[in-house]
Structure 1
Amino acid sequence: MLKKMLFAIASLTSVSSLPMAQAADQIQDDRWYIAPFASFIKTGGDRKASDGWGGGMGLGKIIDQHFNVELRGFYQDFGGTNGPWSLTGGTADVQYYFFRDKFSPYTVVGIGGMNSCASANCGAGLIGEAGVGFTYELHDNFLLRSDVRYRYNNNLNAHVQPGTDEFHDMTVNVGFVIPFGDKPKRLAKVESFTAPVPVAACSTLDSDADGVNDCLDQCPGTLKDATVDADGCIVRLVLKGVNFKYDSAELTPTALGILEGVAENLVAYPQKNDIEVQGHASSEGSDDYNMRLSERRSASVVDYLKRKGVTNKLIAKGYGETRPIADNHTESGRSANRRIELIWLDD
């Protein structure tokens, strides 16, 4: 029996090592979450006990398109021939999602510890779990979740149950997942664009010099150096010259002048899309310090643009030194990496 269960764990673990494929046009969801749940426990025959109920709570983090990690604690109880049982324990889990959608199936493996009591006879031991489950998204911040798990428990000679210290149970868990913060939105695709061959009905005039003829341009008045899509609408803009005072989120006078022009353009030629204002840093200083500084600087730009009348929803996001665009070993590269970017998000 144990060999079959260990083989099942190994099979599920091998599935979780499949190559990851992530859509290039997505911002990865990397939120923390809590996950309360209720449990039904189907006890194995070696416990000489009836089935029972319990519950618990998980704290987890979405790592990427396929993986979550989670710490879980639980309590379960049920009756038995040698008195009532109670199980208190916790596991560290790794969940592998085959894909992320409204309905998202996954496999899970976990290891941990558990204190088992049969009447007044208690002992601590090890547990390993493996199973399958799914989530169903009702809202960006609320998902239903259920899984079925095999649990192996070894009480390490504690003799809680006379005759054996190894137990094999099944648990069915039903609960929900509550992620913290806003769910990241899909980025607008930056498409490679070849200007169409001019025809008699279409002028070759390109007033805003964005590479899209005026008669095809659905978003006139494009800011200089912006990246646009095939319709001439902005999807990305690096704000060159928007700098801050040393070790501060306070904008320099030069930066204020540049941002004033950007704000005037956004007000005069509005696009309804939300805009993510990204703060980026060079590699100087610690990772945590650079992350906090980039967050404060992006928030400073958002505050200024709002004061100037920009009506788009502006989302401040700091990325620290995680997304360099130049070599951090040179001063020119570090200067390029210290930047503010505006990213237009899909509706």
Structure 2
Amino acid sequence: MKNKNEYRKENRVLKKSLLAIASLASIGFLPLGQAADQVQDDRWYVAPFGSFVRTGGDRNSSDGWGGGMGIGKMLDKHFNVELKGFYEGFSGANGPWSLAGGTADLQYYFLRDKFSPYAVVAAGGMNSCASANCGAGFIGEAGAGFTYELHDNFLLRSDVRYRYNNNLNAHVQPGTDEFHDMTVNVGFVIPFGDKPKAVTKSEAPIAVAPAAIADCSTLDGDADGVNDCLDRCPGTIKGSKIDNSGCPVRLVLKGEHFKYDSAELTLNAKTILDEVAKSLVSYPQKNDIEVQGHTSSEGSDKYNMKLSQRRAQSVVDYLKMKGVANKLMAKGYGESQPVADNRTEEGKSENRRVELIWIEY
């Protein structure tokens, strides 16, 4: 058992150590310009912990152990508030001690990062019992600690605190109602919910010198005879007749496009229609298109009318299959609209044709 002189010497050393901790805690509330700007984390959390208690000499007791639980909220990038309860016990000259109490904590974080140091002050109440003598009193704490983030929802935490306890004339310990202890707390913090993520700040756009713009009056990208300054329909289908704005109004498909006496498209016809479809898809125009079928004078008028209708429909079906979105209308004219003399083979060949007519409204 220690004598009174040893307890007094031990108490002086403890007070000096606790004074240093209190000073460090007070520094923590000075403004810190270097704290990094971060997205605000305002989650609630629970914080279980275990404690080692370094008792002051006034208690005439040995050191002890304890534990507790805190419930807190992160207010902003610097402050947390927390309510916590605890229980601690240790042996003493007047019998075993048991301390049960709670505090309201205010924590100040120097910065929020993976490793986050903080200072803390706390105030609350505590019921102290030494053997059969019990009494309620006031406690105040000040200290410093840190958290270390292992996961968005799991952090290790530890702090060291000076605790002042006044039992308000309860006379739990003969000779004094004031006690000075040190506690070392180790535990972890479990925040609720997802951690807010920082939003990447948009950087100011870098000014780029405008590229030299070519004189559009000298350009004709689709080689339709209308310069690009005036061309309202870029990508004109090769071979089509256009208006003054460069938009197609008529496309005549000549040559052997169908098998003899049939509406089946030849390979040559499909190759040409592939290019037509590609242009209509790449440069869509809202115009409806009438697909006209024409024949030479060979055969009866009735037969030629039906054949021209079937051939026009074959072209419509093929263009739709290739993704053309315009409204396409098939119409057969038979031999009623010749463009050349049906008395010659050359004239008959020109009359056997399909025309695409862009309809203006």
TM-score (norm 1): 0.54
Please point out which of 170, 187, 203 is paired with 1:175. Answer: 187
Task: Give the ranges of 4+ consecutive aligned residues of structure 1 lying more than 3 Å apart after TM superposition.
Answer: 1-11, 19-24
Verify the 8 A CA contact 1:20 1:65 in the aligned structure 2: no
1:130 aligns with 2:142: yes
Cα distance, 1:7 vs structure 2? 8.0
Is the contact between residue 139 and residue 163 of structure 2 (CA under 8 Å) also seen in structure 1?
yes
Which residue identity is paired with 1:179?
Answer: P
Q: 1:41 aligns with which of 53, 56, 60?
A: 53
Q: 5+ unaligned residues in a row in structure 1: which ranges?
A: 204-347
User: 1:20–1:66: 8 Å Cα contact kept in structure 2?
Assistant: no
* Paired residues of 1:85 and 1:118 also in contact (CA < 8 A): yes
- From 70, 74, 90, the equivalent of 1:78 is 90
The alignment-based identity, stated in percent, is 73
Following superposition, the deviation at residue 14 of structure 1 comes to 4.5
**How much has 1:18 moved relative to structure 2?**
1.7
State the 1:6 CA deviation. Answer: 6.5
Amino acid at match of 1:63: L
Map of 1:297-312 to 2, 5 A cutoff? none
Residue number among 63, 79, 82 corresponding to 1:67 in the alignment: 79
**Structure 1 residue 149 corresponds to structure 2 residue 166:** no
Residue 13 of structure 1 aligns with which residue?
Answer: 26
What is the correspondence of 1:320-331 to structure 2 with a 5 Å cutoff?
A: none
Report the counterpart of residue 116 of structure 2 in structure 1. Answer: 104
1:126 counterpart letter in structure 2: F
- Is contact 2:69-2:84 (8 Å) kept? yes
d(CA) in 2 for partners of 1:100, 1:56: 24
Following the alignment from structure 1 to structure 2, what is the Cα–Cα distance between the partners of residues 3 and 119?
Answer: 26
CA apart distance, 1:99: 1.1
Larger Rg, first or second structure (1 or 2): 2
User: Which amino acid is 1:18 matched to?
Assistant: P
Structure 2 unaligned regions, length at least 5: 1-11, 215-361
d(CA) in 2 for partners of 1:52, 1:3: 18
1:183 partner SS: coil
How far residue 105 of structure 1 moved from its aligned partner, in angstroms, is 0.9
* Number of residue pairs matched by the alignment: 201
AA partner of residue 47 (structure 2): A
CA displacement 1:42-62 (0-9 Å, x = unmatched)? 111110011111100001111
Residue of structure 1 aligned with 2:39, choices 2, 27, 36? 27
After superposition, give the CA deviation of every residue in 1:284-332 in whole Å (9 maximum; x if it has no partner).
xxxxxxxxxxxxxxxxxxxxxxxxxxxxxxxxxxxxxxxxxxxxxxxxx
Report the counterpart of residue 229 of structure 1 in structure 2.
Answer: none
Separation of aligned partners in 1, 2:77 and 2:22: 22
RMSD between superposed Cα atoms in Å: 2.3
1:194 Cα offset (Å): 3.6
TM-score between the two structures when normalised by the length of structure 2: 0.52
